[in-house]
Chain A
Amino acid sequence: MIRAQREVTKKSVVKPMSPESGGPKSAVERPTRKVFDAVKEKRVFDAEIHPSLSTEEMVLEIDDFSLFYGASQALWEISMGIPKGKVTALIGPSGCGKSTLLRSVNRMNDLIDHVRIGGTMRLNGDSIYAPGVDVIELRKRIGMVFQKPNPFPMSIFENVIYSLRIDGERKKSVLEEVCEASLRGAGLWEEAKDRLHDSALRLSGGQQQRLCIARAIAAEPEVLLLDEPCSALDPIATGRIEDLIEELKGSYSILMVTHNMQQASRTSDYTAFMYLGRLVEYGPTEDVFVQPKLAETEDYVTGRFG
């Protein structure tokens, strides 16, 4: 339900009254397409967050988060929690800020000049953006897998244990153990165990992406960020990665960007729909796909736009 009429203290945003303002609406009678109007007119509205989320324990809390690339705002006061041990999918049309939101979690945006942020994020209760936070230590608690596989120019073994190496871990037994466990976790062990010391760049694209997942989980991250991990892969490799995400569910908290509706509905527990830098609707995947509360969400998940 749109609550554009809610009395908010957010500055900078004009809040004209919407015609529907007034009495509460019944759940069946959906207000139609008012969100996009609100977004386009830069009015404030609150995301439609399904109540079932409130029972989850959150690994990551995003609170009123905004982000500006120079003068242009890419994220608008996003508030959401990422449940522990679940897979949360971020969907939305291209350029709506999914990657930006993901990269804000491990502060990859620090690498870009002219980025300003507002609001906060907390990882298991620790603020991510508070002054004095050690970004390096923070990133070690978060794993990230990128759109294109990006193995390092070194052996498979060295790739997997990279985060241990930079921590100065020298013990061979530890390194080998972590390497095997991570490769098994990423479903790559059987294929790679005989060529651990070959260049990682000689793996196929799908294997490289699983290697990147192995690298990301080697450090036992508290949350795993996947930014369209399958978009550069063929359907078979994509299937394997989806199975893998399925397997990782439970042991890891995963926040995943995807462009693919089927992928989101197949693999995720929760789905968040974003549009033009706003969070629009967020709830259990089934609800979002089958009976979304907003018509815009329905239009998007059924492919009527986007």
Chain B
Amino acid sequence: MVWLTGGALAICVLMIVGMLALIVAQGSGTFWPQHIVRWQTRAGATLMGEIADVERHRPEPEAFERLPEAARAAARAFVEREGGESERRLLRVENFELTGKHYTWVSDYEIASESEPEWALALERRAGGRFYGTPKAYVRDGERLTTEPAATWALVEQELPGVQDRIATADAIRRDDIGRVNHEIEDSRLAVRRAELADGVDAPSARVARELFAARESELSKEFARLRGEIDALERQNARYALIVETGDGVEQSIPLDQIVRAIPANRLGPLERLGVYGSRWAEFVSAEPRESSTEGGVLPAIFGTVAMTLVMSILVVPFGVLAALYLREYAKPGPLVSFVRIAVNNLAGVPSIVFGVFGLGFFCYLVGASIDQVFYAERLPSPTFGTGGVLWASLTLALLTLPVVIVPTEEALAAVPSSMREGSYACGATKWQTIRRIVLPRAMPGILTGMILAIARGAGEVAPLVLVGAAPLAPELPIDGEAPFVHPSRSFMHLGYQIYHLGFQSRNSEAAKPMVYTTTLLLIGLVVLLNVVAIAVRAKLRRRFQGAQV
């Protein structure tokens, strides 16, 4: 029996550890800059890229038929030496506009020769994926300044930071200043409409508002034009620079410098520089917006959405759960009805989460949300405001889902409060509510926080219901931002869990997205752990207050 139970435990632990190890290994490797290899295939092609995966396989005899006549014998001999098997490697070739693919499998017997070109560059671009090649020339104002790789690279290193600064400046103008101008125009337009609605179209107040609006608008459009001009100037400045690179098979391609996010001379990096690139990729991942339908760039909006939704959910579920548990434990007369309710609550935890999603969509979005729209946002109809998925509805749905997770430990914690403490309080002349508020709840707080921790862990990792009630693969705006009223509960949001699902299983190119899936998974697990650690720390702090309790 010891062996059976111990074995079962060992298998459980192994599976969990194995899963975590896989995620950590795969997820943490994604951003490590690999060496760039160049392969000459027996078929006569040249491939250049990073090795993404390796596996052994047994080539079928027909596979050799696809090789050119001359190479067949050598390939057959190669495989024979390996005992009829061959390794094959997944090469990240990219250069999508030329190759039409991101990855390709190549078996070792197909490779005639392999090298690591010293100057091979991995260029991460704003659009179009990565580009692998060797630097050929640096172009400024259409003029080739260099021909040597070293000199070319030196110029890139010198001028790329300036280009990127200008891009950042332009982005900031676009986001902040132009956003503000648009907002002000919209505000004064709304002021006109308000005046017209209140006093009628011909009323003097409306006329005043219209005049104000006209003045403000011309002023603002001048401002707008000025800002646009600034951006254009920055972009014109950036457009002067380009890098010409040569792909593995000798094609020259011009890459404008303002397209380059990061240029890595992958085969020239020392260990420290490699670590630096790794760190900067992670930093971008957690602090930047996504690019290229989330297969590149960062996941900041998704992190933000996950945390915001989880927090809102906790804020909703904890008070409700605690109140419900208080009623069940402290106020309700024990009896069959209470037992039934308790069983029902416990079973709620077993309902598939997608059912909650369907309920959330039907009840919160289509019923409650649509009613809110009709009453408060009638002018925006038929486009829904609250009548569709949003962060509030998602949080509410998850709050419902995690309710039993809060109620059960809270009830246990309430039951564990020694009756001697309650009696002491009653004997002092406290009412029931005073006793609960001052004695029972503080004493049960660690248990309540346990419930909250479980709810956070459950809620942050839940995806299925979110698909229905508001998670989006790409949300243009965050649910909380600097624009009044700062909190926008009706906005859809990005979520790490949904991101994983969407990237891995919904995107056009899931092979290209695979590394991102692992990395995002790693991040999500890390985030859930972090949220839990914070909650556990709070609980430990509370527990210390009860240290030395003898009763």
The listed residue (A138, A139, A166, A199) touching B545 by CB distance below 8 A is A199
- For residue B439, CB closer than 8 A to chain A, the reply is yes
Task: Tell me whether A152 and B421 are in contact in the complex, defined as CB-CB below 8 angstroms, given that A108-B427, A162-B428 are known contacts.
Answer: yes
Comparing A14-22, A141-149, A298-306, the segment that makes contact with chain B is A141-149
Question: Is B549's CB under 8 angstroms from A153's CB?
Answer: yes
Question: Is B547's CB under 8 angstroms from A152's CB?
Answer: no
- For residue B418, CB closer than 8 A to chain A, the reply is yes
Question: Is A166's CB under 8 angstroms from B428's CB?
Answer: yes
Which residue of chain A lies nearest to B429 when distances are taken between CB atoms in the complex? A140
Question: Is A212's CB under 8 angstroms from B546's CB?
Answer: no
The listed residue (A138, A142, A146) touching B424 by CB distance below 8 A is A146
CA distance A205 to B548 in the complex (A): 11
- For residue B442, CB closer than 8 A to chain A, the reply is yes
The listed residue (B429, B439, B443, B547) touching A163 by CB distance below 8 A is B429
Chain A 38-58 interface 0/1 with B at a Cβ cutoff of 8 Å (1 = within): 000000000000000000000
Chain A residues with CB under 8 Å of B418's CB are: 150
Which residue of chain B lies nearest to A164 when distances are taken between CB atoms in the complex? B428
- For residue A116, CB closer than 8 A to chain B, the reply is no
Comparing B78-86, B143-151, B384-392, B430-438, the segment that makes contact with chain A is B430-438
Chain A nearest CB, measured from B486 CB (Å) = 35
> Chain B: interface secondary structure?
helix
Task: Tell me whether A150 and B545 are in contact in the complex, defined as CB-CB below 8 angstroms, given that A139-B426, A139-B427 are known contacts.
Answer: no
Question: Is B547's CB under 8 angstroms from A199's CB?
Answer: yes
CA distance A136 to B426 in the complex (A): 8
- For residue B425, CB closer than 8 A to chain A, the reply is yes
Question: Is A106's CB under 8 angstroms from B438's CB?
Answer: no
Question: Is B428's CB under 8 angstroms from A163's CB?
Answer: yes
CA distance A178 to B47 in the complex (A): 87
Chain B nearest CB, measured from A204 CB (Å) = 9
**B interface residue count range (under 10 / 10 to 19 / 20 to 34 / 35 or more):** 20 to 34
Which residue of chain B lies nearest to A152 when distances are taken between CB atoms in the complex? B439
CA distance A160 to B315 in the complex (A): 33
The listed residue (B420, B428, B443, B548) touching A215 by CB distance below 8 A is B428
- For residue A30, CB closer than 8 A to chain B, the reply is no
State which residues 318-346 of B face A: CB under 8 Å.
none
The listed residue (B423, B429, B546) touching A111 by CB distance below 8 A is B423
Task: Tell me whether A148 and B428 are in contact in the complex, defined as CB-CB below 8 angstroms, given that A153-B442, A153-B546, A199-B546 are known contacts.
Answer: no
Chain B residues with CB under 8 Å of A153's CB are: 421, 439, 442-443, 545-546, 549
CA distance A219 to B421 in the complex (A): 18
Question: Is A149's CB under 8 angstroms from B423's CB?
Answer: no
- For residue A290, CB closer than 8 A to chain B, the reply is no
CA distance A170 to B551 in the complex (A): 29
- For residue A237, CB closer than 8 A to chain B, the reply is no
Which residue of chain A lies nearest to B550 when distances are taken between CB atoms in the complex? A205
Task: Tell me whether A201 and B549 are in contact in the complex, defined as CB-CB below 8 angstroms, given that A140-B429, A163-B429 are known contacts.
Answer: yes
Question: Is A152's CB under 8 angstroms from B424's CB?
Answer: yes
Chain A residues with CB under 8 Å of B548's CB are: 199, 201-202
Chain B nearest CB, measured from A141 CB (Å) = 8
- For residue A165, CB closer than 8 A to chain B, the reply is yes
| Interface size counted on chain A using CB atoms at 8 A | 33
Question: Is B547's CB under 8 angstroms from A202's CB?
Answer: yes
CA distance A153 to B445 in the complex (A): 11
- For residue A137, CB closer than 8 A to chain B, the reply is yes
- For residue A66, CB closer than 8 A to chain B, the reply is no
> Chain A: interface secondary structure?
helix
Task: Tell me whether A136 and B431 are in contact in the complex, defined as CB-CB below 8 angstroms, given that A199-B546, A208-B550 are known contacts.
Answer: yes
Question: Is A108's CB under 8 angstroms from B442's CB?
Answer: no
Question: Is A219's CB under 8 angstroms from B546's CB?
Answer: no
Which residue of chain A lies nearest to B424 when distances are taken between CB atoms in the complex? A150
- For residue A174, CB closer than 8 A to chain B, the reply is no
Which residue of chain B lies nearest to A208 when distances are taken between CB atoms in the complex? B550
CA distance A150 to B418 in the complex (A): 9
State which residues 109-165 of A face B: CB under 8 Å.
111, 136-140, 142-144, 146, 148-154, 162-163, 165
Chain B residues with CB under 8 Å of A199's CB are: 545-548
The listed residue (A148, A201, A205) touching B420 by CB distance below 8 A is A148
Chain A residues with CB under 8 Å of B443's CB are: 153
State which residues 208-248 of A face B: CB under 8 Å.
208, 212, 215-216, 219
Task: Tell me whether A166 and B438 are in contact in the complex, defined as CB-CB below 8 angstroms, given that A153-B549, A199-B545 are known contacts.
Answer: yes
Chain A nearest CB, measured from B426 CB (Å) = 7
Chain A residues with CB under 8 Å of B423's CB are: 108, 111, 146, 150
State which residues 179-220 of A face B: CB under 8 Å.
199, 201-202, 205, 208, 212, 215-216, 219
Chain A residues with CB under 8 Å of B546's CB are: 153, 199, 201
Task: Tell me whether A108 and B426 are in contact in the complex, defined as CB-CB below 8 angstroms, given that A153-B421, A153-B439, A201-B546 are known contacts.
Answer: yes
CA distance A139 to B426 in the complex (A): 8
Chain A residues with CB under 8 Å of B438's CB are: 152, 154, 162, 165-166
CA distance A144 to B438 in the complex (A): 19
Chain B residues with CB under 8 Å of A152's CB are: 421, 424-425, 438-439
Question: Is B550's CB under 8 angstroms from A111's CB?
Answer: no
CA distance A249 to B551 in the complex (A): 28
Chain B residues with CB under 8 Å of A151's CB are: 424, 551
State which residues 470-518 of B face A: CB under 8 Å.
none
Binding site for A on B (CB under 8 A): 418, 420-421, 423-431, 434, 438-439, 442-443, 545-551
Q: Which 3 A-B pairs have the closest CB atoms?
A: A140-B429, A144-B427, A150-B420
Binding site for B on A (CB under 8 A): 106, 108, 111, 136-140, 142-144, 146, 148-154, 162-163, 165-167, 199, 201-202, 205, 208, 212, 215-216, 219
Given A151-B551, A153-B439, A212-B424, output 13 extra A-B contacts at Cβ < 8 Å.
A106-B427, A137-B429, A146-B427, A149-B550, A150-B551, A151-B424, A152-B424, A152-B438, A166-B428, A199-B548, A201-B548, A208-B550, A219-B428
